[in-house]
Chains A and B, each alone.
Chain A
Amino acid sequence: MSDAASRYTVLDTAPFRLRDVLLRWEVILVALLAVVIIANSIISPFFLDIFNLSDATQQFAEKAIIALPMALLILVREIDLSVAAIIALAAMTIGYAADAGAGPLTLFAVGIGVGLLCGMFNGALVTFAGLPSIVVTIGTMSLFRGLTQVILGDQALTKYPPEFTSLGQSYFVKMWDSGIPYVVLPPIYLSFLSFLLLAVLFGVLLHFTATGGACSQLAATQWRRAFPAFRWTASASSFLRFPARFPALGRPFSRPGSARCARISASAWSSTSSPW
């Protein structure tokens, strides 16, 4: 009797099904992208042209840079509407620094520093004052852009050092007169960074915050007690479950302290905007 197999089999992992893989949103997106590219090449003879593709790449690279950290924010049910205004403010500060004769490296530091400060301001209001991020960033959107207007007035800064602008406008693989622009590099390494961040460090906290308050409290305790061991399992689980956790974002949510540090860092991170 005791040897009789149970009526139910509980598997440790879900069985592999091709359908699950094909129906993953990422796969559908790649398919849609392929459809759009094919349709466009049929409609216009100018689409599959090296100049056009290079130009399009430059266009989406900036959006990709901002979209990556925005994904982290949305993962914890927050949003940052002020990113475009921060770009304006950071770009202006870089302009003034360039006017003052700062070198390219200093300019990067200035840009990232201004973005970091703006993001920390947002993050502090959201976490410590407990305000909804959509409202905070509506306010700071006007504030940051307004500050830019106050300082800049009706003039525009155009004197950036040549090695700085050449990075944004030249190609690291030359093909005819065009090529693959340098601006695709940041999205690539930032994707990798975000991936690492999600998988190893914040991933755990962010995911637990998204799925439920009690869980994230537990995670924090575990984290303190058994950091090395926990890191392993957690990173593995967030590698595997990352896409699967997205639908869970609609559930009730509380704000435990552990998640707060994740959120404030994510906020700050989201706003580090260098000009390229």
Chain B
Amino acid sequence: MTALLKSRELLLAVILALMAAGITAYQPVFMTGDNVGDLLTETAVLAMMALAQMVVILTRGIDLSVASNLALSGFLVALLNQYYPDVPILICIILGIGIGALLGLLNGALIAGLGIPPIVVTLGTLAIFRGSIIIIGGGDQVNASEMSAAFQAVPKAQLLGLTTPVWCAIGVSLIMWLFLSMTRTGRGLYAVGGNPVAARYVGISLPRQELVVYAISGAVAGLCGYLWVARYGVAYSEIAGGYELTVIAACVIGGVSIGGGVGTVLGTILGALFLGTIMNALPVMQISPFWQMAISGAVILAAVVINARAERRPEKLILPEARRAAGANAGRTA
């Protein structure tokens, strides 16, 4: 029970509920079906990107190129649709995921293969990916009129009242949860982030893990690239500019430790929901656009101060002799 009360996820959920209640009391329109649907659809992309980013941060890495990756894979998929409108949408989506994964693998190969720090590699590819959009498109953008109707209909399609991005986010969350809790690679990520030296001793290969996580991050960015471009009906070099920082903020608010090894799927989703709610609520509460940035900055800071003191769990002594020795020592010093 105390563990439940102490849990970061519960604290965040309570704050989120209080915030939603407060906003509704001020502007009842916030809790209407339309607005909640909008909020969820907006947040779905952020949640997926944050989950992918969490997987990277677990290994003590960071992927700053996710937003550029999203823009580039979205742009390529939009170009494909512009010139070959007959290609089935499913193929487009799979291609988007594939392109994203390849771009992510490029990051992973540079980081794992050459041993360059992740922040440096992904800062470089951030610029390269956005630059490539300008080179490939010759500076042109793909407009809504140049994309097929079917291509743009997918993100707006509803099933059981929820739009496609929300279902995608649910799917990605489930896959991530299964991956992180059930697979050997997924468990290994926590080990690598928590204690790299120990992880290496038990035979977990960091370079292999890094390839996997950056590929995952890229694949999710590719999927979101399609959803983004199809939803807003425009693809050019500046879409999702600076979005990588929002994604990282969502992770940290969700309790992911930037130092690696700490983070849960639920917490990250709540972190994304928290930021999504703020972004949605400020216009709904008719706050001047000039104030919105300052308030979201202050709220991010406040959330982090309350929630992001991610302390790593202390190592446990698993051998009985070591535990006895430690116990005896503790007795002597006390």
Contact = CB atoms under 8 A, between A and B. Distances in A.
Contacts of B304: 131, 135-136, 139
A118 to B, nearest CB: 12
B293 A138 contact: no
Interface in B114-138: 117
A143 B297 contact: yes
Interface in B295-318: 295-298, 300-301, 304-305, 308-309
A76 to B, nearest CB: 14
B258 interface: yes
Contact of B249 (A135, A143, A153): A135
Interface string B204-228: 0000000000000000000000000
Contact of B308 (A132, A147, A153): A132
B245 interface: yes
Contacts of B291: 146, 149-150
Nearest to A74: B119
B290 A139 contact: no
Contacts of A139: 249, 297-298, 300-301, 304
B305 A132 contact: no
Given A81-B245, A132-B259, A135-B248, A142 B308 contact: no
A125 B292 contact: no
Contact of B290 (A141, A149, A250): A149
Contact of A146 (B294, B305, B308): B294
B252 interface: yes
Contact of B301 (A81, A136, A147): A136
A140 interface: yes
B52 to A, nearest CB: 17
Given A140-B297, A149-B293, A132 B249 contact: no
A145 B297 CA distance: 9
Given A138-B248, A141-B245, A131 B293 contact: no
Interface in A95-141: 125, 129-132, 134-136, 138-141
A149 B295 CA distance: 11
A140 B301 CA distance: 7
Contacts of A81: 245
Contacts of B298: 139, 143, 146
A151 to B, nearest CB: 9
A144 interface: yes
B249 A146 contact: no
Contacts of A142: 293-294, 296-297, 300
Interface in A189-215: none
Given A125-B305, A140-B301, A141-B245, A135 B258 contact: yes
A141 B242 CA distance: 11
Contacts of B292: 146
Contacts of B308: 131-132, 135
Interface string B239-252: 00000010011001
B248 A147 contact: no
Contacts of B248: 134-135, 138
Interface in A131-178: 131-132, 134-136, 138-147, 149-150, 153-154
Contacts of A154: 290
Nearest to A129: B305
A131 B292 CA distance: 24
Interface in B249-273: 249, 252, 257-259
Contacts of A140: 297, 301
Contact of A149 (B252, B294, B301): B294
Nearest to A146: B294
A135 B309 CA distance: 11
Given A125-B305, A131-B308, A153-B290, A146 B297 contact: yes
A150 B297 contact: no
Contacts of B305: 125, 129, 131
A150 B245 contact: no
Nearest to A77: B259
Interface in B275-334: 290-298, 300-301, 304-305, 308-309
Contacts of A149: 290-291, 293-294
Nearest to B289: A149
Interface string B56-100: 000000100000000000000000000000000000000000000
A253 to B, nearest CB: 9
A139 B245 CA distance: 9
A159 B297 CA distance: 29
A246 to B, nearest CB: 11
Nearest to B249: A138
Contacts of B62: 134
B122 to A, nearest CB: 13
A66 to B, nearest CB: 15
Contacts of A130: 309
Contacts of B257: 132
Interface in B35-70: 62
B64 to A, nearest CB: 10
A81 B291 CA distance: 20
- Per CB-CB distance, the 4 closest pairs between chain A and chain B, nearest first, are A146-B294, A142-B297, A143-B297, A146-B293
28 contacts: A81-B245, A129-B309, A131-B304, A131-B308, A131-B309, A132-B252, A132-B257, A134-B258, A135-B249, A135-B258, A135-B304, A135-B308, A138-B248, A138-B249, A139-B300, A140-B297, A141-B245, A141-B297, A142-B296, A143-B297, A143-B298, A145-B293, A145-B297, A146-B295, A146-B297, A150-B290, A150-B294, A154-B290
